[in-house]
Structure 1
């Protein structure tokens, strides 16, 4: 195989049978927000019915940029609390923080030796995050995608729920798995498949509908935090940017109306309705009426999540115990995979511990 990654249209399907297994995670690098919830957490609980699931607080990814140590620890617990409040059951899924399983970093190094500079140079998210200062950002930010590949393949994950902005990273994971299997003539890793669900897999800023809702935006008014109370949620939605036109009858009428489309998508996802049905209810109405209804739906849906998060975060010892148990389970799955990888590569002593 050449050093150029195979493209998605010629990437082979897996012939070996792998256990259907989902891996996903989020960074604890800021407040958990509505974009995290609708784009990821809300769907994770449902996946527990059909897959063996691992849900990870990816704290090693977070430190690709500097983090205040005390704040990072608190945000790791907040992320775990958000997962559980949104429906992840630690008795049915494996919930842990990434740094507790050394295999993530170990396999990431091996994948750094499989991936190619040209592949990483094409990663648009690195270009977006590095901006004009790419010579000054950490090496970790540059090789972030190989760590993401290690996160998934350390457990031979077969499916990953992703938003549109993560599809390129998942394609790199597929390329790494394919190249490793080809180079060593063994089907060690599955070719991971994406799961894209819901009406609002990509939630945008409340102040600029062309930008993704983000923890890193300076203004708190750009996002709904999962810790926001009902009054704060109402204030933020009522001040969200819109336009002067009434809501259209069909989704086509939302073209070139980024803020309107974002709010309609959020309503649809929270109410668990198709966009067409939401527009059927509000066609011809102005945004004051629509925002009032959106506030009602959002508060009704998010208040139980916020309350459960507060309860869990008030008991950090229990959260730590959940993460400890999850890390033990994750490590038990990871160890034989690492041994197989090392034996395949030819690293002496694979499987010998202690």
Structure 2
């Protein structure tokens, strides 16, 4: 039995945060043995916001290094850079024709970034979710491990895939029916034309038999509703993926503004970077915003700051926030902050050590990414051909 497929990606923009590690890098490691796993550095997505070329190149290597430092083994998964697989952009263009403007206008992240980057609201930013759908669908993905802020994009991906499948299956059924009629009409016209030219019945029979033999494999396939040009009309072109979020810490909040996500695009005193020293990380956690009640409870609506700390601790300990809150009932905020700081620092130390080792040897990273691109291209190219065949493109 084949393994299910998972795909996820991280942008090489800015320094990854604790939220990226808890919500993305670390959960990815659980998939590399149980799934046919693809993990991507999505550099095309990064340029929807202006990037310094030198920093983009360095950050692309850095994201790959954080993937591996977090526990991904390139021998057990496919790790690659998005721009090294041309099918991503090509499929993205095709899927643009199956996405509706109204759908994209409703995307929350588009609205947020359009407000933040008012001087550069570009078409790429608007169409970002469609390219993301292409990223996912190219690999026949079953599961997409993401933070909960990406759920809306996954739902759009599912809608686009379903729309595409319904359209091509409907057209293919019509094509099969018409192809049978075309073949029969062709043989009838050929017989009539040869008869008009005075050819013998024996000659006509031989010519018709040659035509039948020439078309027999195609006609048999059409009669059986089987494969045509390598694509099975019984099957949908795209698998319909689903989003999967980790049990805790799926969306780590900013320590100073716990109502918004901890984001590498908005670094500050409330944002713990994976590159922060233990002392810096400790100080940021100790100064985290809580409230005036001074009792520990998990209540994201009324106690967002405390609940954020509980989520972080739960993620570090692989336990649910409800369990953490129950165990810390009766303790005060200072005790909670010390627990969170110790857990985060203990988690960062080995992670940073491995990351630094990988970044010191870019040759090794380059070879890993090249091998990953070769593997990814093989699957992506096959999917893209299937898409093109279903739409009527001339393919080879």
Q: Same fold (TM over 0.5)?
A: yes
Out of 270, 279, 291, the residue aligned to residue 325 of structure 2 is: 279
Higher relative helix content: 2
For 1:213-252, list aligned pairs within 5 A.
Answer: 213-219=262-268, 221-248=269-296, 250-252=297-299
Q: Which residue of 1 aligns with 2:189?
A: none
Kept in 2, the 8 Å contact 1:228–1:306? The answer is no
> Residue 292 in 1 paired to residue 276 in 2?
no
How far apart are residue 317 of structure 1 and its match? 1.3
Summarize deviations over 1:282-328 as a string: whole Å, max 9, x none: 22222222211211111112211111111111111111111111011
Q: Which residue of 2 aligns with 1:173?
A: 157
Q: SS in structure 1 opposite 2:34?
A: coil
Q: SS in structure 1 opposite 2:149?
A: helix
> Residue 27 in 1 paired to residue 11 in 2?
yes
User: Structure 1 stretches of 5 or more lacking a match?
Assistant: 1-16
For 1:22-61, list aligned pairs within 5 A.
Answer: 22-61=6-45
Q: SS in structure 2 opposite 1:65?
A: coil
How far apart are residue 115 of structure 1 and its match? 0.9
How far apart are residue 255 of structure 1 and its match? 4.0
Normalised by the length of structure 2, the TM-score is: 0.80
> Residue 161 in 1 paired to residue 145 in 2?
yes
Kept in 2, the 8 Å contact 1:229–1:306? The answer is no
Out of 263, 266, 286, the residue aligned to residue 309 of structure 2 is: 263
Q: Which residue of 2 aligns with 1:197?
A: 246
Normalised by the length of structure 1, the TM-score is: 0.90
For 1:1-354, list aligned pairs within 5 A.
Answer: 20-131=4-115, 136-185=120-169, 186=233, 187-219=236-268, 221-248=269-296, 250-252=297-299, 255-348=301-394, 350=395, 352=396
Q: Relative to 1, partners in 2 of residues 1:132 and 1:101: Cα closer, same or farther, differing over 3 Å?
A: closer
Q: Relative to 1, partners in 2 of residues 1:113 and 1:18: Cα closer, same or farther, differing over 3 Å?
A: farther
Kept in 1, the 8 Å contact 2:11–2:43? The answer is yes
The separation in 2 between residues aligned to 1:159 and 1:223, in whole angstroms, is 29
Q: Which piece of structure 1 moves more, 315-324 or 103-112?
A: 315-324
How far apart are residue 218 of structure 1 and its match? 4.7
Kept in 1, the 8 Å contact 2:298–2:306? The answer is no
Q: Which has the larger radius of gyration?
A: 2
How far apart are residue 217 of structure 1 and its match? 1.2
Summarize deviations over 1:249-282 as a string: whole Å, max 9, x none: x535x54111111011001110112223322332
The separation in 2 between residues aligned to 1:178 and 1:203, in whole angstroms, is 31
Aligned length, in residue pairs: 331
The separation in 1 between residues aligned to 2:375 and 2:267, in whole angstroms, is 38
Summarize deviations over 1:67-90 as a string: whole Å, max 9, x none: 000000110111011111111110
Kept in 2, the 8 Å contact 1:162–1:194? The answer is yes
Q: SS in structure 2 opposite 1:222?
A: coil
Q: SS in structure 2 opposite 1:49?
A: helix
Kept in 1, the 8 Å contact 2:247–2:320? The answer is no
Q: Relative to 1, partners in 2 of residues 1:316 and 1:281: Cα closer, same or farther, differing over 3 Å?
A: same
Kept in 1, the 8 Å contact 2:12–2:59? The answer is yes
